[in-house]
């Protein structure tokens, strides 16, 4: 019997995803699958392609459900749902990874080369501001999952000396890797650019606080395309005002959209980008979803399964 798949996300997302999903399913011999964004009878649904903002919040009626396939990289808004008792897969796809690499490397180079300084001094005065070579600018990446690894290796390819930190031990070619609570301070100490790519879990909340913000080199740059909860906002503002942190480029926030009266908007040492660092792109995400449906139907392990105990 062909699988029945409910697309549980916004109407706009359905318009973008329907064609790529049908093509990706057909390419895997699943062209007969029933794919619908409508309210299918729950007891007929085998897979839910899911955005945590969906109206589907109670999974208990889905008695035939085999897996929930998340459209987002982040799963913090669904992983703790007590009615979800089937495998949950998060989104990891080539387009999402490439988008993150481009955002991180672009902003790292922007700060490394002093582009903001050049733009601010177009006054006719010949003031030379020569940056160091990348090999003399230490970078630390917190988080060595798929996105963190890709960004760390891209920066290392540009000759930045990169240290990566993760909660559990990892090995990444060309990267100095540290882990665990004991490894966090050494990873941050002396960094001139810090990139945050950790998941949102109780263990990572406020990982950048008054204590850890004091560890990078004075005037260091903080890039956060990971999760807004990784930063203690008040501590960051204080570090910026004191010059301990020279600039923060932030793509994610505790509350989104970022409220118009939030001090980040007006702070001269903060750049706000509106959660655009790594958008899920239908053409590549559809391939991951269809492959997981194929695997589920074939009895094979699903890709990118979430560890409920760790929260990602």
295 is catalytic: no
Tell me which long-range contacts 233-236 makes (C-beta under 8 A, separation of at least 24).
Answer: 233/264, 235/206, 235/208, 235/209, 235/210, 236/208
In which residue are the tokens 């387009």 written? 95
The residue annotated as part of the active site, out of 254, 262, 275, 295, is 275
- Among 6, 137, 149, 227, the one annotated catalytic: 227
Examine the residue annotation and report whether 255 is marked as an active-site residue of this protein.
no
Integer Cα distance of 255 and 247 in angstroms? 21
Measure the CA angle with vertex 242, ends 241 and 247; round to 5°: 60
DSSP-derived pairing of the beta strands 34-36 and 4-8: parallel
- Which one-letter DSSP state was computed for residue 189? T
Taking the C-alpha atoms of residue 203 and residue 281, their distance in angstroms, rounded to an integer, is 29
**Nearest partner of 22 among 10, 5, 47, 42, judged by Cα:** 5
Gyration radius of the chain's alpha carbons: 21
- Active-site residue list: 227, 275
């Amino acid at each position: 019997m062909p699988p029945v798949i409910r697309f549980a996300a916004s109407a706009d997302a359905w318009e973008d995803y329907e064609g790529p999903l049908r093509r990706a399913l057909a390419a895997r011999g699943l062209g007969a699958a029933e794919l619908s964004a409508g309210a299918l009878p729950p007891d007929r649904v085998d897979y839910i392609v899911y955005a945590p903002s969906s109206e589907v919040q109670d999974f208990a009626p889905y008695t035939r459900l085999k897996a929930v396939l998340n459209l987002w990289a982040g799963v913090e808004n669904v992983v703790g749902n007590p009615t979800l008792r089937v495998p949950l897969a998060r989104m990891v796809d080539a387009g999402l990874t490439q988008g993150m690499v481009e955002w991180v490397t672009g902003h790292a180079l922007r700060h490394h080369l002093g582009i903001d300084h050049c733009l601010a001094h177009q006054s006719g005065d010949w003031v030379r501001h020569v940056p160091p070579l990348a090999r003399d600018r230490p970078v630390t990446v917190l988080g060595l999952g798929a996105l963190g690894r890709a960004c760390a290796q891209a920066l290392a390819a540009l000759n930045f000396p990169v240290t990566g930190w993760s909660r559990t031990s990892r090995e990444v070619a060309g990267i100095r890797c540290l882990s665990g609570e004991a490894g966090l301070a050494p990873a941050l100490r002396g960094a001139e650019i810090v990139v945050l790519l950790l998941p949102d879990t109780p263990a990572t909340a406020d990982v950048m606080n008054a204590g850890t913000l004091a560890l990078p080199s004075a005037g260091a740059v903080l890039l956060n395309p990971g999760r807004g909860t990784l930063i203690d906002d008040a501590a960051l503002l204080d570090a910026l005002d004191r010059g301990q942190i020279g600039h923060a480029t932030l793509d994610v926030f505790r509350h989104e959209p970022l409220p118009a009266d939030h001090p980040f908007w007006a702070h001269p040492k903060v750049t706000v980008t509106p959660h655009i660092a790594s958008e899920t792109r239908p053409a590549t995400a559809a391939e991951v979803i269809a492959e997981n449906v194929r695997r589920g139907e074939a009895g094979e392990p699903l890709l990118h399964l979430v560890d409920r105990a760790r929260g990602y």
